[in-house]
Amino acid sequence: MPRQHPAQYHPYQRTSLRQSTTDANPAAVARNRPLTGADSTDPPRSVFAPSTSAFFRPDASTLPKRPTFANSIGPSDDIYGEFNHYMTRRELLRSAAGKDKHGQSTASSNELLKSTASSSTNASLDLYSDPELIRARKEIRELKSARRKLTDEKAAFERNIHDLEKSGHEKETKLQEAMLRVDQLEVDRQFLVDRNKDLTERLGDAEENMIDWKKDADMTQNILKRQIAELRDQLSLSKRDSDAQLRKAQLENDRVESVVHQMEQQVADLQNELTKQANYVKSGREQLSTAERQYREAEAKIRKLQANGSVTEEMVVLKRQLTEQTAHIRSLETKMQELAQQNRYLRNMQENTEKLKDEKEHLVQQLSRMSQIQNRADALVVEINALKAERQRWTEFLTEHDDIGADSPYALAKTLAQQRLELAILKEKYGQEEANRKGRAAHLERLERELEESQAKVSESEKQRQADLRTYKRLERSRQLAQKEVEFLREQLRSYDLEEEHNSVPGAYDTQKSERIRKLEEIVDEYRFHVKSLEDKVQQQERQLHQQQQPTSHLQPSTSSLSSLSSSSASSQQSSASSLPHATQALVTQLQSENTQLKKQLEQVEIEAHTLSRALGRGEHDPRTTRVLELVDNPERAELRIRQATLDALCEENRKLVEQCRTNNHNNNSSSNGSNVISSPLGSAAAVPVESLRSVQLECSQLKAQMEEKDKRAVRLKEAYQLKAQEYREAVFSLLGYNLEIEMDGRVRLTSTYASSSSSSSLSTSSTSPTSPTTHYSHSAHSTIPSFVFASGDADRGTVQLVGGGGGHAHDALAMRLENRVHQAMQYYLDERGSVPAFLAGVTLLLFEGAQPTEQQQQLQQQQQQGQLHVVHEMA
């Protein structure tokens, strides 16, 4: 791996320790170099700018063994010793030459030569006692010790750099291992991409099939919508017909109800007339009894008068009265016969009214059954139309869509089952791929964490390497400075020799020597200042490095870690000039793009998985993992057999119809020969196929079986309801003492178990509200069993009526007493308390208490009636 050249630095260059722009411009570097020898005798002063770069002081224990700075310099190691030896030898030579010249001088030598010779002699004598030279030698020795220290430090830094390079090689080895892992991941990713492409192609085929199926479903839906509209029109027509029939039935029912109402009014009027006639009969019986009594008294008087033998005018009056009474009695008997005839007529009318009520109930039941039959017929018509439409759709689908490869519903169902099986297999494969993908994703996450850790380590090593590199550059600049100083000193020595050889004025040597010594002192001062500034910078950089060794922030996600890895790889590429980070960065970019593509494909696969889960929710299952248990002869299989038989019949019928249509079309085409006559596709003498007739007969038989089954169910339910109602009435009758009967008009009739033996008259009570009852009395001769009739009204208002009874005048006192007690019970229980159950219980107690006296009164009444009949017979 090629290394970068350190930045060139010169002690007299006005730049910092960082690499300047003059590195790329050799001319500028040449301009900034010092002029030595013949070029210049006054080199520029060096100005040191403070460095802001970091400085790292390595541990001496980890320093590698590298060529030292002294070895790299070569023969210039002991340049200061050579310079001292050279100066001593030259001074000795000059002193000897001065002595020779002084012995040979004449008196004609000028004052300048004397002073020069004397100064030469003094210089030779004071060579080892001159304080300036001693100080210069001392400073030279200090510089040598400082140079040795710097050499040692430079060797330590070079060993540290060697260790850093070694650690860098280790990091490169780890990076190569990571690259191998990345290559393996790339192979896995390519495998996943291929599998995803395969799945995508399969999903695309499935989507195309779904689009085709959707188009077919839309077409079928449109056909169904048209058929539903036609069925709705037919249903509206059938509803209008049924409404018309229902209105006719309602009109007939209203007419019958009006007739029944008129008959009920007539019956009520006849009952009122019968009540009046009963009162008349009662009054006539009273008058008859009075007349009979008067008649017996008159006969007694007549017998008494006849016995006395005297006939007076009273006899004549009595006879006249007797005749009048007899005529009146005969007229009363005539009226009684007429009333008996009217009573028989009214009884016949009542029987007719009951018959009309029964006929009305029968008609209402027939009307309800007719409406049920009509609804059933409408439902059957709708079902028949739906079956016909379904048959037509199957026919059109199997004849028009031949490209699907299914010529029968069985083949279509088989294709659908195969598609479901393939869908289940694809779903299972998708699950496996999803599990593999998750495993690889976990593996990728683990590798990303490892890459992040290695990235952190690489970044720390990079920081350390940068610090070591800056230290190395600084030391390299110091080394170059020392080399330049040595070269400068050598040039100074050469200049001394050249000046000594070419100098024709020996007296000017001391001045030049002192000037150069002064310059050397300035150079030494500058060097000391430079060393001090370097020490300060090193301490400052050590403090900064200690601050930078604090814990770093948390790592970013996988994508940012990859980008940071690429950036760190790019920085390491700049530092090490290697081609591997370029490949890593390109690979990371490619992996990021492929990761984005895989995310998009994952979203598509998740959408497909959602579609598959919805298909699973519709009842689709994997037969390899799920087993459905069912009975051998379950309703579903029975229905399937029925549907299969129907479908087979429809297919056979369709086949026959298609054959007949083709035959008729062929016959028509052959007979017409291009004529414009439009003929039916079934021909002029088209006949219905036997299969169609069988299909219709099968439908009719199925409908009849369904109707019979429903009728049987209705009869059974009716019998069960009647049985339960009878049990309920018996339970109520045995526990509460009332026989419960619900009439057709919604009223409830309650007959007490003690009513037949305790009532001789009828008490009818009517209450329109619980707080305002009204009571009226009526006697009935045709009923001996009183009962309560309850009718409910609006807003919790109803009526209660006591009907029944019958008897003669012998029971007037008992009836009046019973009516008074019932009236008192009604006022107490209904008006004051508002409780119907309490009222019924009280009436039951009244009837139970009056059971025995009622039987005695009935016996007395029978005896009186027998006596009256005997008297009437005698009078007749």
* DSSP sequence for 689-718: -HHHHHHHHHHHHHHHHHHHHHHHHHHHHH
Q: Which of 715, 750, 774 is the last residue of a domain?
A: 715
Q: What is the mean pLDDT of residues 131-152?
A: 80
Cα torsion 532, 535, 536, 537 to 10°: value is 120
Instruction: Indicate if 709 and 742 belong to the same structural domain.
Output: no
Q: Are residues 710 and 761 in the same domain?
A: no
What is the C-alpha separation between 231 and 229, in angstroms, rounded?
5
pLDDT in tens, 192-244: 778 778 877 887 787 787 787 777 777 877 787 777 777 777 777 777 777 77
Q: Is the pLDDT of residue 306 over 80?
A: no
Residue 612 counted as domain residue: no
* Beta pairing, strands 773-777 & 763-767: antiparallel
CB atoms within 10 A of CB 811: 21
Q: Are residues 682 and 752 in the same domain?
A: no
Poorest-confidence range of 528-532, 693-697, 847-851, 866-870?
Answer: 866-870
Query: What pLDDT was estimated at residue 80?
Result: 53
Query: Distance of CA 366 to CAs 258, 298, 372, 572, Å?
Result: 18, 69, 10, 103
Q: What is the mean pLDDT of residues 76-101?
A: 60
Whether residue 135 has pLDDT greater than 60: yes
Structural domain boundaries enclosing 821: 737-875
Tell me the per-residue pLDDT of 45-88, one tens digit each, with 9 for 90 and over.
433 333 333 333 444 444 444 444 334 344 444 555 556 666 67
Is the CB of residue 439 less than 8 Å from the CB of residue 125? no
In the prediction, which pLDDT does 720 show? 92
Q: Do 54 and 541 contact (CB within 8 A), yes or no?
A: yes
The reply to whether 648 and 706 lie within a common domain is yes
Q: Which of these, 120, 19, 247, lies nearest to 503 by C-alpha position?
A: 120
In a domain, 237, yes or no: no
What single-letter amino acid sits at 359? Answer: E
Asked if 810 and 857 count as a contact pair (C-beta separation under 8 A), the reply is yes
User: Is residue 694 located within the same domain as residue 782?
Assistant: no
In a domain, 413, yes or no: no
Helix axes 409-502, 131-308, angle to 10 degrees: 160
If asked whether residues 700 and 743 sit together in one domain, one would say no
Give the chain's domain count: 2
Share of the chain above pLDDT 70, in %: 61
What whole-number distance in Å separates Cα of residue 151 and Cα of residue 145?
A: 10
775 and 697 fall within a common domain: no
By residue count, the chain amounts to: 876
Query: pLDDT at position 375, please?
Result: 83
Name which of 276, 384, 249 is nearest 699 in CA terms: 384
The pTM for the full model equals: 0.26
Query: What pLDDT was estimated at residue 84?
Result: 64
Report yes or no on 157 lying in a domain: no
Domain for residue 521, yes or no? no
Residue 630: DSSP 8-state: -
What is the b/e burial string over 530-568, where b = at least 16 CB atoms within 10 angstroms of the residue's CB?
A: eeeebeebbeebeebbeeeeeeeeebeebeebbebbbeb
Between residues 382 and 554, the one the model is more confident about: 382
Mean pLDDT of 126-145: 74
Q: How far is CA 662 from the centre of its chain?
A: 55
Q: Return mean pLDDT, the chain.
A: 68
pLDDT of residue 404: 59
What pLDDT, in 10s, does the model give residues 596-616? 777 777 787 778 777 777 766
Burial tier of 160 (Cβ tally within 10 Å: 0-12, 13-18, 19+): buried
The pLDDT of residue 773 = 38
Q: Does residue 851 belong to any structural domain of this protein? A: yes
Structure tokens at 286: 């009273």
Q: Assess if residue 649 is contained within a domain.
A: yes
pLDDT at 719: 92
What is the rounded average pLDDT of the residues 12-17?
38
What's the whole-number mean pLDDT along residues 287-291? 79
For residues 709 and 315, the model is more confident at: 709
* Residue 344: Cβ within 10 Å count: 10
- Assess whether 806 and 756 both reside in one domain: yes
Name every residue whose Cβ is closer than 8 Å to that of residue 558 and which is 6 or more positions away in sequence: 444, 445, 448
User: Residue 758 domain-assigned?
Assistant: yes
Structure tokens at 789: 């009739």
Between these two residues, 684 and 648, which has the higher pLDDT value?
A: 648
Mind listing the pLDDT tens digit for each residue in 324-365?
Answer: 878 888 888 888 888 888 878 887 787 777 788 888 888 888
Tokens in use for 444? 């990728």
The pLDDT of residue 566 = 44
pLDDT at position 670 is 66
- Read off the pLDDT of each residue in 163-172 and give the average, rounded to a whole number: 82
Q: Can you spell out the DSSP letters for 167-186?
A: HHHHHHHHHHHHHHHHHHHH
Q: What pLDDT is recorded for position 459?
A: 82
Contact present, 420 and 735 (Cβ < 8 Å): no
**What pLDDT sits at residue 6?**
41
Helices (H), 618-689: 635-672
744 and 856: one domain? yes
Residues 705 and 744 in one domain: no
Q: How is residue 352 written in tokens? A: 């007719």
Average pLDDT for 821-841: 83
End-to-end CA distance of the chain: 164
DSSP string, 324-345: HHHHHHHHHHHHHHHHHHHHHH
Of 62-66, 293-297, 464-468, 723-727, minimum mean pLDDT range: 62-66
**CA distance linking residue 333 with residue 317, whole number of Å:** 24
**3-state secondary structure at position 677:** coil
Residue 824 has pLDDT above 80, yes or no: yes
pLDDT beyond 50 at 569: no
> Mapping DSSP to helix (H, G, I), strand (E, B) and coil, where does residue 133 land?
helix
Over residues 712-752, the pLDDT tens digits come to 999 999 999 999 988 988 888 888 888 888 888 878 888 88
Is residue 688's pLDDT more than 70?
A: no
More confident residue, 627 or 719: 719
- 119 pLDDT exceeds 60? no
Give residue 406's pLDDT: 62
Range from 421-430, 583-592, 845-854 that averages highest in pLDDT: 421-430
The lowest-confidence range among 61-70, 139-148, 173-182 is 61-70
Cα distances (Å, whole numbers) of residue 426 to 113, 198, 202: 118, 11, 9
d(CA 406, CA 415): 8
Q: Please give the pLDDT value at position 433.
A: 85
Average pLDDT of span 659-685: 59
pLDDT in tens, 545-567: 666 554 444 434 444 444 444 44
770-775 long-range contacts (CB < 8 A, ≥24 apart) are 770/796, 770/797, 770/830, 770/831, 770/834, 771/831, 771/834, 772/831, 773/826, 773/827, 773/830, 773/831, 775/823, 775/826
Same domain as 866, residue 779 = yes
Are 808 and 840 part of one and the same domain?
A: yes
pLDDT of residue 199: 78
